[in-house]
Amino acid sequence: MPASKEHTLGEFDLIRRFFASETDADGVVQGIGDDCAILLPPPGQLLATSVDTLVSEVHFPANADPADLANRALRVNLSDLAACAAQPLWFTLALTLPEPDTVWLEGFSRGLREAAQKFGIALVGGDTTRGPLCITIQVTGAAERPLTRAGAQPGDLVYVTGELGAGAAALPLVLSGDAGASHWVQARNAFYYPQPQLEAAALIAPFASAALDVSDGLLADLGHICEQSGVGAEVHAEKVPVAELAAQTLDHDAALAMAVSGGDDYQLCFTVPAQSRSELERLVSAGVLEATEIGRVIEGNAVRMLKSGAEWQPPATGYTHF
């Protein structure tokens, strides 16, 4: 038996050793160690909560680095908070492990602590069970004015933060597990360390009409805004900002297809009433917000993609999420 595998490590020891820590986080009346976490919401704010599960060999390769996994698990959840313009407060972790491998747990808990600290969110409870590796995180945040997918109106402008296509371009590289491959570092960063757009969300929250995070691909996700808002949208493909990783590893058309229909970018797609355009542009030119206008909201119920002025159907990206 490898020295790293301590089969004697009990559930309570494991929790105490890797996950329990004194927390002075805001609103935590009772953290890890009791039947429930007891929490005090910020006065006058609404709570936003979301949960996501990562299953080994379904959402990530079983041999993935544990600190990388912890980062992805927490960051994709934080992206859901950003999509609602909620600021992170607390999270819980349900961890299913084949065995209590202390080396794996050390890496995972370190990655989780670092990410939690970076984004200002406190671990307040969880559950630990034995079984096939599976990571579930539930996050809770607070928002003064939460954004939803509903609220876009014809005439609004459509924006995305950052650049798109890196998540999808990273996937085959990440799956190869080949740390020697060119662009490995960029791919690993894009897949395991997506940046939840919490600051951008806070900046646009006062005036955006609808928002979500791009996890399924821009076309599909903007389609969700259209459906929930009862509108259509028109997007100019050549305005969509293409991530460097996609541009460097694919030909021009394939990179554009990744940006438009690939997923896993965790940027925000949001709509803004035309009268708020100058406010948004002020934030962009001040260098505090990276956002690009890519189209507008129209009457209807579907997303129309245009390229060089003509209707355009992006080719299938050729990669499906695993």
d(CA 12, CA 4): 18
Residues lying near Mg ion in the complex (CB under 5 A) are found at: 127
Q: Which residue, 127 or 253, has its beta carbon nearer to Mg ion?
A: 127
- Mask: binding to ligand ADP, 100-139, rule CB under 6 A, as x and -? -----------------------x-xxxx-----------
Our finding on whether 15 is near ligand ADP (CB under 6 A) is yes
Tell me if 172 sits within 8 A of 266, measured CB to CB. no
> In this structure, are strands 87-97 and 134-143 parallel, antiparallel, or unpaired?
antiparallel
Q: Which residue has the tokens 């980062």?
A: 71
8 vs 278 by CB, closer to ligand ADP: 8
Residue 264 labelled as part of a binding site: yes
User: Does residue 99 touch ligand ADP according to CB under 6 A?
Assistant: no
How many other CB atoms are there within 10 angstroms of residue 208's CB atom?
24
Amino acid at 278: S
Cα–Cα distance measured from residue 89 to residue 257, given in angstroms and rounded to the nearest whole number: 36
**Residue 168 contact, options ligand ADP, Mg ion, none, Cβ 5-8 Å cut-off depending on partner type:** none
Q: How far apart are CA 168 and CA 216, in angstroms?
A: 10
Nearest to 305 by CA among 318, 314, 292, 297: 314
Tokens matching residue 5? 């595998």
Minimum CB distance to ligand ADP, residue 77 (Å)? 14
Is 291 a binding residue for ligand ADP by CB under 6 A? The answer is: no
Single out the residue of 22, 24, 35, 251 in contact with ligand ADP (rule: CB under 6 A).
Answer: 35
**Residue 129 or 275 having the CB closest to ligand ADP:** 129
SS3 content of the chain, % helix, strand, coil (to 5): 35, 25, 35
Q: Is 141 annotated as a binding residue?
A: no
**Shortest distance (Å) from residue 109 CB to ligand ADP:** 9
User: How far apart are alpha carbons 232 and 234 in whole angstroms?
Assistant: 7
The amino acid at 117: Q
Annotated binding-site residue numbers for Mg(2+) = 35, 50, 52, 80, 127, 213, 216
Annotated binding-site residue numbers = 35, 50, 52, 59, 80, 126-127, 149, 213, 215-216, 264, 319
Q: Which residues bind ligand ADP (CB under 6 A)?
A: 15, 19, 32-35, 93, 95, 123, 125-128
Annotated binding-site residue numbers for substrate = 59, 264, 319
